[in-house]
């Protein structure tokens, strides 16, 4: 018999534990506004998971961050590959550890949408790179975002962010804005009154998304400050500053996946006909076409 519910009412790790102890075999399908993931169990043991291009443990870790969405568990004996060998306890403990670790990473890597760029001082420094760091450096062309680099090296955005965090700490890399992921063209075309309403909507939506999570007081204060600026001076620059701050708050509280979902939601607000998940603005009117922009 299938059962379903909401992640807002019952976190995914608790759901998995509940089904696992009953020894069930079947498939979880978990959906939010942007993505759909699947987790397969055999006799109560998690054996396989899928989320976009991720599979196995990495897919479970990404899904464990979700705090909103719906799930359905369907008992069946579908044949799937075994991509997970860890015990359920070890798997979920690692997921919890990653959630905590992201709180630290996000202080220097507030979004996996940002673009790693080489620093001026980094070129003269003598740094011994690990294989993981070298893989990231090889794909760093000052145009790819952390998410793009993760895809290119065949890892998760979380793991790529960890490597980038270390390279930022060593002084080799910094992060630049990727305005291609923000609907700059549509913001430029909006009337002042519409920009004011959008700023207020962004603040309300951000507050709703992070309401059940602890956000640093300075981030909360920055949200209020940038909202006030965008309402009093409703220009595109002010809105972009607010969007950056909102994304940082969401990413800190709920992980990079939810920050990406927020940007997709924003794209739909300003252009209901937009395709979710694709860049809307190929040209940044403030800094040239497709180029990286320092934060």
Of the candidates 124, 156, 177, which is a domain's last residue?
177
Residue 277 DSSP symbol: T
Domain boundary among 130, 151, 177: 177
**Do residues 192 and 270 both lie within one domain?**
yes
pLDDT at 126 (0 to 100): 67
> Are 7 and 95 contained in the same domain?
yes
What confidence score (pLDDT) does residue 235 get?
Answer: 92
Which CA distances in Å does 105 have to 111, 156, 265? Answer: 10, 14, 24
- Burial of 32 from C-beta contacts in 10 A (0-12 / 13-18 / 19+): middle
188 and 284 in a single domain? The answer is: yes
Alpha carbons 29 and 11: distance in angstroms, whole number: 14
User: Same structural domain for residues 151 and 253?
Assistant: no
Structural domain that includes position 13: 3-99
Question: d(Cα 260, Cα 34) in Å, to the nearest integer?
Answer: 9
Phi, psi of 259 (to 5 degrees): -65, -40
Is the same domain home to 59 and 70?
yes
Same domain, 147 and 189: no
Q: What is the pLDDT of residues 13-34, one digit of tens each?
A: 888 888 888 888 999 999 987 6
pLDDT, tens digit, 9 for 90 and up, residues 157-200 = 888 999 999 999 989 999 987 777 788 888 889 999 999 999 99
- In terms of domains, do 35 and 67 share one? yes
**Do both 20 and 59 map to the same domain?**
yes
Helices marked H in the chain = 12-21, 57-65, 88-105, 131-139, 146-153, 157-169, 184-189, 192-209, 217-232, 236-254, 256-270
Q: What is the CATH number of the domain that holds 136?
A: 1.10.10
Predicted pLDDT of residue 22: 84
How many domains are there within the chain?
Answer: 3
Residues 69 and 125 in one domain: no
CA 276 to the chain's CA centroid? 14
Contact assessment for residue 73 and residue 4, using Cβ atoms and an 8 Å cutoff: yes
Verify that 256 and 194 share a domain, yes or no: yes
User: Among residues 82, 99, 116, which one ends one of the domains?
Assistant: 99
Q: Would you say 44 and 20 are in contact if contact means Cβ atoms under 8 Å apart?
A: yes
The answer to whether 168 touches 270, Cβ cutoff 8 Å, is: no
Query: CB–CB of 237/286 below 8 Å?
Result: yes
Are 3 and 73 a contacting pair, CB within 8 Å?
Answer: yes
Looking at the fold, whether 184 and 289 belong to one and the same domain comes out as: yes
Rounded to whole angstroms, how far apart are CA atoms 233 and 33?
31
Share of the chain above pLDDT 70, in %: 88
Looking at the fold, whether 188 and 287 belong to one and the same domain comes out as yes
CB 206 within 8 A of CB 289: no
**Interatomic CA distance for residues 28 and 77, integer angstroms:** 12
pLDDT for 217-276, tens place per residue? 888 899 999 999 999 999 999 999 999 899 888 888 877 767 777 888 888 888 766 544
């Amino acid at each position: 018999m299938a059962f379903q519910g909401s992640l807002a009412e019952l976190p995914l790790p608790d759901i998995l534990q509940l089904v696992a102890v009953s020894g069930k075999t079947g498939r979880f399908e978990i959906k939010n506004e942007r993505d759909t993931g699947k987790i397969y169990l055999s006799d109560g043991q998690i054996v396989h998971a899928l989320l976009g291009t991720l599979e196995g443990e990495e897919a479970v870790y990404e899904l464990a961050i979700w705090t909103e969405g719906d799930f359905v568990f369907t008992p069946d004996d579908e044949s799937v590959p075994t991509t997970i060998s860890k015990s359920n306890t070890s798997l979920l403990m690692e997921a919890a550890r990653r959630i905590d670790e992201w709180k630290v990473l996000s202080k220097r890597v507030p979004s996996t949408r940002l673009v790693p760029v080489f620093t001026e001082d980094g070129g003269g420094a003598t740094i011994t790179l690990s294989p993981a760091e070298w893989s990231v450096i090889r794909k760093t062309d000052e145009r790819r975002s952390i998410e793009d680099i993760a895809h290119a090296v065949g890892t998760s955005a979380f793991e790529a962010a960890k490597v980038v965090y270390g390279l930022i700490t060593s002084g080799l890399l910094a992060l630049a804005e990727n305005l291609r992921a923000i609907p700059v063209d549509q913001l430029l075309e909006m009337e002042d009154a519409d920009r004011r309403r959008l700023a207020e909507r962004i603040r309300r939506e951000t507050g709703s998304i992070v309401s059940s999570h602890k956000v640093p007081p300075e981030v909360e204060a920055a949200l209020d400050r940038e909202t006030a600026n965008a309402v009093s001076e409703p220009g595109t620059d002010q809105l972009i500053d607010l969007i950056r701050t909102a994304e940082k708050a969401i990413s800190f509280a709920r992980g990079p996946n939810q920050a990406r979902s927020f940007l997709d939601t924003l794209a739909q607000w300003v252009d209901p006909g937009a395709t979710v998940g694709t860049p809307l603005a190929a040209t940044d009117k403030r800094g040239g076409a497709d180029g990286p922009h320092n934060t």
